[in-house]
Structure 1
């Protein structure tokens, strides 16, 4: 997918809108979160003045590196996640865009800046992925990296924000679909396990579910995992 260049007659604006429309469709058609994020970082390489890109998603504990265009981005992310400091962490926690014009002169995170500068990174643009207003709505960060100092213009930042909005909606939708799919799978497993108990012990559905639930609580095991083990082994966990 090529990003259009301005010809001075407004054609680029129309073509850019068409390009983002196609991106939205591509993201919507992606089968899962991983494929959605991969599409985002690949588009970023083509549409923006960056040499590397990546996406980090908010996890239950530490942030999770979801996609990178090369190992250098993984290292740049790891430096920040391990130290809990850097433009990525700031963008994720505050829900605001962070621009590092030159890692050689920026003094906000000197240790991180020195290390990524040694990796060949001079400019960084971190844009939050958000599903609403406020820091709690921030689900991740799109990171753009360049080997050139002061590489990101106002136009680049504006395009990055548009891409981030598309990505936010796509990721939230993909996560919701995966959660719903997992819930459906869990109900099927529990239903199958209940059927085994009902047949083996001649109990009704309520009693069979109570047995599964008790074993789940007693063994501190998820209900779907108890059901899966019963289906696989025809035995309840010890």
Structure 2
């Protein structure tokens, strides 16, 4: 067990680091690195839930954990999946005595040298957006104090991931608007269109090709041509 848990000041510095982290990936990496110092654990990891609600490995303090997660994700079962489904922390005092999941899961954990673990869903507005997992090579490694600190870390992580995702979404929206504006400018100059008609051309190409508007705009900017496959169905107005 850790001789000394993080102070209020140290958690304050963590909050500042998370606020300054550039993007979701750096945010979760900051969380797992702090977890190694804050809680008595040998490994830590964060699995993020993507837009399709499929778990995605985002940060690992040891690459050997990757296979353990992939098996759970492919099987759709395991402690990480259970923590997500139940939206509550999950403590595994001793992997060797655990019977809630398949024997294969236990064998893989023991083969990796892991004897105890705790999984904490990171909730945003009550919805699980990620899972923070802490692992130890010893059974019964996590004390009540360790779990309290892990809960605080999970709260910081939840808020940071939510903020980072909002920033990423805003950045993508601004970038998409910029690309569409550039593509419209090309169409307006080349085909003597006004803004409304230029946007309608892009929109129709997007619908016909079943592609995002920003992707069609990006291709037009790079090639100076609209997708030839759909040119017959989406004629430029007046041409």
Is TM more than 0.5 here?
Answer: yes
Q: Say whether 1:32 aligns with 2:23.
A: yes
Check conservation: 1:4, 1:16, Cα contact below 8 A: no
- Offset of 1:203 from its aligned partner? 1.0
Residue among 74, 80, 85 paired with 1:88: 80
Counterpart of 1:71 (choices 60, 63, 68) is 63
Partners of 1:185 and 1:48 lie apart in 2 by 39
Does residue 211 in structure 1 map to residue 201 in structure 2? Answer: yes
CA deviations 1:164-220 (Å, max 9, x no partner) are: 100110011001001100100100110111011111111110000000000011111
Shift of 1:4: 7.2
- Segments of 5+ residues of structure 2 without an aligned counterpart are 229-239
User: Number of aligned pairs?
Assistant: 225
* Coordinate RMSD, CA, aligned: 1.3
- The counterpart of 2:221, out of the listed 198, 211, 231, is 231
1: distance between equivalents of 2:148 and 2:175? 41
Q: Name whichever of 31-40 and 104-113 sits farther off.
A: 104-113
Q: Please, which moves more after superposition, 110-119 or 178-187?
A: 110-119
Q: Residues of 2 paired with 1:140 and 1:93: CA distance?
A: 11
Gap runs ≥5 in structure 1: 6-11
For residue 72 of structure 1, report the CA deviation from its aligned partner: 1.9
- Distance in 2, matches of 1:158 and 1:61, equals 28
What is aligned with 1:130?
A: 123
Report the Cα distance in structure 2 between the residues aligned to 1:237 and 1:64, rounded to whole angstroms.
Answer: 32
Partner of 2:8: 17
- Whether 1:57 aligns to 2:36 is no
- Cα 1:156–1:72 change in 2 (3 A) is same
How far apart, in 2, do the equivalents of 1:65 and 1:235 lie?
A: 38
Cα distance in structure 2, aligned partners of 1:26 and 1:227: 36
Rounded Cα–Cα distance in structure 2 between residues aligned with 1:72 and 1:144: 14
Q: Summarize deviations over 1:119-138 as a string: whole Å, max 9, x none.
A: 100001001101133xxx11
Among residues 193, 200, 204, which one is paired with 2:190 in the alignment?
200
Structure 2 CA distance for aligned equivalents of residues 121 and 79 of structure 1: 16
Cα deviation digits, residues 213-238 of structure 1 (max 9, x gap): 00011111110011111111110012
TM-score in terms of structure 2 length: 0.91
State the alpha-carbon separation in 1 of the partners of residues 62 and 106 from structure 2.
19
Matches within 5 A, 1:94-133: 94-109=86-101, 110-133=103-126
Structure 1: which 4+ aligned runs deviate by more than 4 Å?
none
